[in-house]
A and B are shown apart, each in its own frame.
Chain A
Amino acid sequence: MTYETLSVDIDSDGIALVTIDLPGQSMNVWNEALMADFEKFVDDFVSNDDIKGAVITSGKQSGFLAGADLNMLGSSTASSKKEAFENGFKLNATLRKLETGGHSAKDLSKGAATAKPVAAAVNGLALGGGLELVLACHHRVVADNPKIQLGVPEVQVGLLPGAGGTQRLPRLAGLQNAAMLATQGRPIDPQTAKVQGIIQDVVAADEVVAKAKEWVKSNPKVTQPWDKKGFKFPGGGGAMDPRSVQFFIGANAMGQKETSHNYPAVRSILSCLYEGSIVPFDTAIRIESKYFTNLVSSPQARNMIRTLFINKQAAEKGAARPEGVPKSEINTVGVLGAGLMGAGITHVTVKGGMNVVVLDRDQEAAENAVAYSKKILDKRVSRGKLTQEAADEFLSKIKPTADYNDLKDVDLIIEAVFEDPDVKADVIKKTEAVIGDDVIFASNTSTLPITGLAKHSKRPDQFIGMHFFSPVEKMPLLEIIPGAESGDKALAVALDYNKRIRKTPIVVKDVRGFYTNRVVPPYINEAMLMVKEGVKPALIENAAKSLGMPLGPLALTDETSLSLGLMLSRSTKKELGDDYKPTGTEDLLEKMVEGLGRQGRKSGGGFYEYPEGGKKHLWPGLAEHFPIADDQPSLEEAKDRLLYAQLVPAALCFAEGVVDDPQSADLGAIFGWGFAPWTGGPMSHIDTIGAEEFVRKAESLAQKYGERFNPPGLFREKAEAGEALYKAA
């Protein structure tokens, strides 16, 4: 028997060592080729009397098996649900055959038949379908390394573990552990897995195969616990066990609390656990595959896989990087300004393995960057997540200074001084006087046009914009903004730097607000307009959360502060003069900030009160100044308004080329302002509902609430033509 993706070596005891090793890939995944090979192997294994047992391991240093190939899952070609089910059930059936030895459940249960022993020798991470293969083995040996991840993360792309994971996990570890693993998708380490009963043995890395073989040799006839007569779920299972009844009642509430009914995968996983715990194993895995089929054929899974994995990884690998520019060496970065942004940038830069020279107007101000990192590191040290030595080494890589001459050897400049063109012009001049001729100068700004700033540079082709979000160490997005004269090298270096600090980058056109700040203000304004109209503030906040936003828009405004909002609206008005289009929220901001002293969270409260030691709650005074209207919109209406207040501006950015492609618009939305991840992003969402429906709904909102909801012409054209934004895969 020859295989393409695995090798089978049968030793003198008749034990087959199956080594999975996908050619030309850095990591093992379940793809068509491996599935075909593995099915072939299992057929041979159960019928070939020369093989007495098997040990399954991986030939990759990188791990055991990382799950299914997401590209394969994202492009299902099945023409019917039934066909999709048959495809989806294949691996389930193969693994079932492996553990039963091809015998019927009835014969196994009666003891009339037993299976040949199979042990997993796990040398590295086993995720998703990888862990499910391990679970289908009779014995599971894992290398003793706390960094090895064992888990079923499918839920994160809108799917469920569809190769028996929802059935074997609860039968090994109980319903509660299984639910935690599968609905949250977070992996656990080998010791935890052993305690939960998911694996049996944790041994030195170089012994996994030997120990697995040893077990196979001494257990020639085996039956999975769930195929034995009288099997009971650890901790209770089934519809009649009061423990599982209580468990499901609680889990159903938590599932709704966590997902706001936006993630069918979570409910489907719970359904697999519930229904599967009532019926025999063979029925249970068919039910699992049916729920899996429903999910994998839904637009949601396709959208989530595409944006959250495929496109995110591509962007992070540098999909937007210009070709032909050699990879840049960045060892030391000069950060200008040690304020909140500068300090945050310093922190992520050192974390990314680089040294930082951080400059401010005097030494004391520059030291602020060190203090900022120290605070973060101290917390990690006190929690035992970091050693003091590592923290000290981290801090030693930051050199605070007030002397421009200290910048002369840096490989990249990131400027994060005060958002004032004159201040920025001054530091650009002083910095360019000392740095090397080929050093790229990146300016962190959220409001100032890059092309304008680049005018202060002697070498505008080496000048580029980077928009970091605050707090820098937490926010995952980086907007990279080439100015009119920025060259390929500037963009390449920016993306190379981004790769080191592991943000998700999008390249954005040099327009006011770039991308995210073109969309977020209209969304927040819409919420404030609703307050003015007398919509109940709780309804506004709950509608946003129901959409899947992490925070209500009023709470978000409190975080960024109402005074900032007021300041920005005034400065924009001053700058644009007659071109300024009032948003309708100016008077509300003025009243809140100046009339009522409600500036936001950091200054004693805004839309919310922040009682010390208590939970924040909406400010009761709000209703007094913005009386509640008799007529309240329905939840659906409020949701639509807040959703389209984001979709329409995002569509406008796409139509105007602020972002070049739907991928960037989607990534920027989810990782920039937390746009409902279940949608895969605003462009994916428009594709899912259809451009026609988007245009229709936007137009009806425009009629009711104002022209700000009018859909851009490009989308009307798409609707007419029945075209999608994403090209079919």
Chain B
Amino acid sequence: MTDAFIYDAVRTPRGKGKTDGSLHEITPVSLATQVLEAVRDRNDIDTADIDDVAFGCVSPVGEQGAVITRTAIMNAGFDETVSGIHVNRFCASGLESINIAAAKVKADEADLTIGGGVESMSRVPMGSDGGAWPTDPTTAFKSYFVPQGISADLIATKYGFSRDDVDAYAVESQKRAAKSWEEKRFEKSIVPVKDVMGEPVLSHDETVRANTDMQSLGALNPSFAALGEFPGFDYVALQKYAEYEKINHVHHAGNSSGIVDGAAAVLIGNEEAGKKIGVKPRARIRAMASIGSEPTIMLTGPEFAAAKVLKRAGMDKKDIDLWELNEAFASVVLRFMQALDIDHNDINVNGGAIAMGHPLGATGAMIFGTVIDELERSGKETALVTLCIGGGMGTATIVERVN
């Protein structure tokens, strides 16, 4: 099968996803446009050479609706021949977009593609698109729907992570993110966001708190205890996880992913396409996989996605030098490390969404780019990128450095 190579990866810095966030004045289409422009301009591409663009976006309504990918393509002034598709695999949308873009290359449907994602959570709040799953009584009852925070706390309960465990993880994430910024580890991919006048408004991730410590996190109240009691999501979860008397609520704003705005794009193509545009490949997609898992605990999918993608690649977990799992909640990463016996030194080495935020549709593409940069910086060979996903799913990609 044709190889899919990574030629470039860019992302915006992440702005606090509230009305006082630096990116709140920037439309989501503009965020998507700016990363597309960066891919074009950094590599000096004739956009007529690009076949297709896949962008993830989790709340595709309002100004994020109507296939925001095609809207951004037009806005970026790409050649009209470039098609765009909107992808929604909840939190893994960004990575799934890369997988789709890569699959098109592998299947010889396309020569040069872009995968990526965008989410302005400050402008189109999470959940704006409603949906049958939690709302329609038929599906809510059948799936024992609970919000993700309850699922994350259920993971902590089932797999024995204390409040101290999850807080300690969060403190380390902040430390790593701050250090990475200090050492300019993200410099290669960061595209500062510009406003309508063309002036830069944000050049760094806005939510990193280097001085976070156990004491400051300890002062925060658990976020999901009240919802567990009323309307009673704990009881719903315990009807399935009947071996527990109660759910240990350990997650709060400080050890869960932050709500932020941002976009990212990754340039993917076959060998000839790289030669044609005159850009050297940086990495190669080795394997891709998605899975479904138990939907009430919901966020344990990465373990199974990783197993599946390793199997498809004919690899063993020992063959992976670098692991990247989206920090949706601290317990998600702790459980993944526990299940696969991964050393904390080998995973999320530059921090993650707990420190820098999780712009839902874009995150998968952001952490994918971070991993490419880190492989090059550290000289490591292979990385596995994965995310937990709403509804009980997991998506994973194995990537290897080629120069």
Contacts and interface: CB of A to CB of B under 8 A. Distances in A.
Interface of A: 239-240, 242, 245, 248-257, 260-261, 267, 270-271, 274-275, 536-539, 541-543, 546, 617-618, 632, 635, 638
A253 B231 contact: yes
11 contacts: A239-B135, A239-B136, A242-B128, A248-B136, A248-B140, A249-B135, A252-B140, A254-B232, A256-B239, A538-B242, A546-B239
Given A245-B130, A271-B137, A256 B144 contact: yes
B273 to A, nearest CB: 42
Contacts of B233: 253
B145 interface: yes
Nearest to B228: A253
Contacts of B215: none
Highest count of chain B CB atoms <10 Å: which of A245, A249, A270, A275: A249
Size class of the B contact interface (CB-based, 8 Å): 20 to 34
Top 5 nearest A-B pairs (CB, nearest first) are A257-B232, A252-B140, A542-B242, A270-B137, A250-B231
A543 B140 CA distance: 21
A271 B231 contact: no
A541 B238 CA distance: 11
Interface in B232-285: 232-233, 235-236, 238-240, 242-246
A252 B141 contact: yes
Nearest to A241: B130
Contacts of B137: 248, 251-252, 255, 267, 270-271, 274
Interface in B141-192: 141, 144-146
B146 A542 contact: no
Nearest to B134: A249
A255 B141 contact: yes
Contacts of B238: 542
Given A250-B231, A252-B141, A541 B245 contact: yes
B378 interface: no
A299 to B, nearest CB: 20
B236 A257 contact: yes
B232 A260 contact: no
A546 B244 CA distance: 13
Given A249-B135, A253-B236, A254-B232, 4 more contacts: A253-B232, A275-B136, A537-B245, A542-B238
A566 B144 CA distance: 40
Contacts of B246: 617
A274 B243 contact: no
Nearest to B137: A270
A271 B239 contact: no
A252, A537, A541, A543, most chain B CB atoms within 10 A: A252
B141 A257 contact: no
Contact of B235 (A257, A539, A618): A257
B236 A256 contact: yes
A539 B141 contact: no
Interface of B: 127-128, 130, 132, 134-138, 140-141, 144-146, 231-233, 235-236, 238-240, 242-246
A550 B157 CA distance: 25
A721 B138 CA distance: 38
Given A245-B130, A256-B144, A618-B245, A251 B239 contact: no
A254 B145 CA distance: 11
Given A245-B130, A248-B136, A536 B236 contact: no
A542 B242 CA distance: 6
Given A254-B232, A257-B232, A274 B136 contact: yes
A239 B130 contact: yes
B236 A538 contact: no
A261 B136 contact: no
Contacts of B132: 239
Given A271-B137, A541-B245, A257 B130 contact: no
B231 A254 contact: yes
B102 to A, nearest CB: 35
A249 B141 CA distance: 10
Contacts of B242: 538-539, 542-543, 546, 635, 638
A539 B243 contact: yes
B252 to A, nearest CB: 21
Contacts of B141: 252, 255-256, 261, 267
A635 B240 CA distance: 8
Contacts of B235: 253, 256-257
B130 A542 contact: no
Contacts of B135: 239, 245, 248-249, 252, 274
A638 B134 CA distance: 29
Nearest to B128: A242
A248 B135 CA distance: 5
Contacts of A536: 243
B127 to A, nearest CB: 8
A470 B164 CA distance: 46
A239 B141 CA distance: 17
B353 to A, nearest CB: 24
Contacts of B146: 253
Contacts of A270: 137
Nearest to B139: A252
Contacts of A242: 128, 130
A159 B39 CA distance: 60
A537 B245 CA distance: 8
A271 B245 contact: no
A245 B236 CA distance: 18
A683 B233 CA distance: 33
B243 A538 contact: yes
B389 to A, nearest CB: 19
Nearest to A635: B242
Contacts of B134: 248-249, 252
Nearest to B138: A271
A251 B231 contact: yes
Contact of B239 (A240, A254, A261, A538): A261
Contacts of A543: 242
Nearest to A250: B231
B66 to A, nearest CB: 16
Interface centre among B136, B141, B145 (most CB of A within 10 A): B141
B372 to A, nearest CB: 38
A542 to B, nearest CB: 4
A254 B235 CA distance: 9
A539 B132 CA distance: 31
Contacts of B128: 242
B145 A252 contact: yes
Contacts of B240: 635
A271 B135 CA distance: 10
Contacts of A256: 140-141, 144, 232, 235-236, 239
A554 to B, nearest CB: 11
A106 B371 CA distance: 60
A14 B361 CA distance: 66
A253 B141 CA distance: 8
Contacts of A618: 245
Contacts of A275: 136
A256 B137 CA distance: 10
A635 B239 CA distance: 9
